Amino acid sequence: MAGAAGRDLRAARALLWRTPRAGRSRTELFSDLGFYFISSLLPAALLAAPLALLAVAGQHLLPDAIPATLSTLPLWGKLLLGLLIGEVGTYWGHRLSHEIPWLWRYHAVHHSTEQLYFLANTRTHPVDMVVTRLFGLTPLYLLGLAGPGAAGSAAPVLLLLIGTVWGFFIHANLRWRFGPLEWLVATPAFHHWHHSKFEHINRNYASTLPVLDRVFGTHHLPRAWPAACGIEAHMPKTLAGQLAAPFRPTDKREVPAAE
């Protein structure tokens, strides 16, 4: 009886979890928790001044009618339009972090996770986080979808909240597939292929809307799952080591090879 129950439990785990949960070390867990707090607080402080300057500069680059009109949209309108425009910016910020060597040095920290689970979403170097969010948020401030006013102040906060929650989901250690829904939104299968170790790491850059990868020719979503995740270069396991890794002159990490 106990043996049968154990087999059933193992079978259920095989259906739910893509990789064994016991494979992660405590060091990695504590490191990811540390990144959660660092990446939640530091980028917000670093982004305030650049976004304000870009918003002011943008007022001289765009016709006044564009931000004036978009700033009057209700909150739900700003969220829908902001999700699409912000996702386009995030896509290109993410893609460039794979194609430009000095950006990849920071982004490689995120890709060093060999067993994806929800907290892998937090393993992001603060410099990488700042760059990605600048790409995603700057268009919103330039176009009047974020900024002064009740709806303008709430829109970027809600969009970041949605993006964070969805980020935990697509990094989760889940074997689930979602059928036709995978055409509309990013899923664990979609994003796990982006974390594949040997190939397709330069695919699936979108964080929520995979249609962008279809448009820009970077979509990859077969029925199978990637055989392995991570990067080939060495990456320290500790929080301090991962924060320092991009600055080490002898630790060269070239961009991932093009397919």
In a domain, 15, yes or no: no
Do the domain assignments include residue 4? no
d(CA 39, CA 158): 17
Give the DSSP letter of residue 59. T
How do residues 138-166 score in pLDDT, each as one tens digit? 899 888 888 766 455 788 889 989 999 99
Q: Is residue 157 part of a domain?
A: yes
Q: Cβ neighbours of residue 24 under 8 Å, at least 6 residues apart?
A: 115, 117
High-pLDDT (> 70) share of the chain, %:
82
**117 part of a folded domain:** yes
Q: Where are the alpha helices (DSSP H) in 17-149?
A: 26-58, 65-70, 75-99, 101-111, 126-142
Total of domains in the chain = 1
Position 59 confidence tier, pLDDT thresholds 50, 70, 90: low
Burial tier of 19 (Cβ tally within 10 Å: 0-12, 13-18, 19+):
middle
Residue 38 lies in a domain: yes
Write out the two tokens for 32.
Answer: 């990811």
**pLDDT over 60 at 75, yes or no:** yes
Task: Indicate whether 255 belongs to any domain.
Answer: no
Kindly state whether residue 16 falls inside one of the protein's structural domains. Answer: no
The whole-number pLDDT of residue 10 equals: 45
Model-level pTM?
0.85
8, burial (CB in 10 Å: exposed 0-12, middle 13-18, buried 19+): exposed
What domain range is 241 assigned to? 24-247
Which residues are paired to 229 by β-bridges? 196
Task: Judge whether 11 lies within some domain.
Answer: no
Q: Which tokens go with 92?
A: 């290109």
